[in-house]
Amino acid sequence: MHKISALDDLKADCVRRGLWREEGNHIRRGPFPPPVPEVSLRELSVQEDGDGHTYLKIEPLHAQSLVYETGDSDPTSASSPVPTPTRFEAVGLRYRFLAFDPADMVRVSAVKEWTAKLRLKYQLHHRGSHHEVELLALPKANGVTIRYSTDGSSPTSAGAATYDGPFRVPANCRVVCAMAVSSAYDLNSETLRITIPQQGPAARHPIDPGLPARWNQQTKLDDAGAVWDFIQRLASATGVRAHDISLTAESSDGQQNVDYSGALDGGYDADAARAVAEKLQEIVKDGSLRMTAGALSFPNGQALLEWLLATNQPFSVAKVSQ
C-alpha cells in the first residue's frame, strides 16, 4: 500500500527544494526563470565612540556584481564596486547600492538605500560657579549641525542657537534641549534633554523619576551565566527592554559559532531575548554564549535608578536620556 501522505510529502519536498512553487491553490512546476537580483543589507555594529560610523554587511542576491553611490545619486553598472561587502564602513550619511549580473545587463536589482541614524552625546561640566555643556553629533560627517536651546523650547525653533563649541549654561537654565540635523538629507536625531542640576531649594535629582528613561551604556556579558542572569533580571523588571543586542554562541572547540544581531524599534523584552539565546544554544551545543546590549529603556526614571542600584552600577546623568 502507498503511504497516505506520500503525495503531500512529495509536494512539500519539491516546494522546499524550489522545484515546484505554490501559487494560490495551484502548484506550478519548474523550470523557472532566474530570480530577480536584489540587495540584502544588514547593520553589523555601530561605533559608540570615535567617529560613530556604522558597519554594514551587503550581499548581492542572484547576481555577481555589487556597486554603490554616496548621497542621493542613483548607482549604475558603472558605479564604484563595494570594496568590502562583508564589513563595509559607512562613513557618510547615505548610500545607495545596486546588484546586477554582468553576463546579462538586463538583470538588475532595485536600488537599496541606507541612511545613517543621527545621534547626540554630551558632557556636562561643573565649573564651580556655573555649568558648561559639550555636545557631539555622531556619526561625524560633513553637513551635520547641532541646534540647541537653553529655555526648554524646541531646538528647531527660530530662537535656538547653532552649536560651535562648549557653551556656558545660563544661571536660570533648568534644561538644555539639543538636536543633530542634516538639512541636505532631511535627517534629525531624537531631541536630547539635558537636565541642569539646581542649587539650593530648587535642587533635585538630575533625572525625572516619572518620565520614561533610556540608559545609554553598553551592557557586556561575556559568559552564559551572565547572559541568563541578565535575561532573568529583564523578566523580573516590568517594562525594561534591551536595545541593539548581539549574541554569539561558540562551540567549545572553536570550530562553530553563530551570531545574532538585532535592532527592533521596540527593543527586546525577556521573552524575546530568551528565545534568541535558546535558539543559538540549540544550534551550537556545549559551548559559550556572549551578549551585548547597546542600551536599556525603562518605563520611568525610578525604574532606571532601581536597576542601577540592583546591578551595582554608578549613576551618570550623561548616559541618561528622557
Residue 204 has pLDDT above 60, yes or no: no
Mention every residue, 6+ apart, whose C-beta is less than 8 A from residue 114.
41, 56, 90, 94, 95, 96, 97
Does residue 303 register a pLDDT over 90?
yes
Domains and CATH numbers, the chain: 1-32 (no CATH), 38-115 (2.60.40), 119-204 (2.60.40), 214-321 (3.30.1490)
Cell numbers representing residue 93 in the block: 550619511
Global pTM reads 0.65
**What share of the chain has pLDDT > 90, as a percent?**
62
Q: Are 321 and 213 in contact (CB under 8 A)?
A: yes
Q: Is the pLDDT of residue 6 over 90?
A: no
pLDDT at 316: 82
- Decide if pLDDT at 139 tops 60: yes
Q: What is the distance between the alpha carbons of residues 185 and 11, in angstroms, rounded to a whole number? A: 49
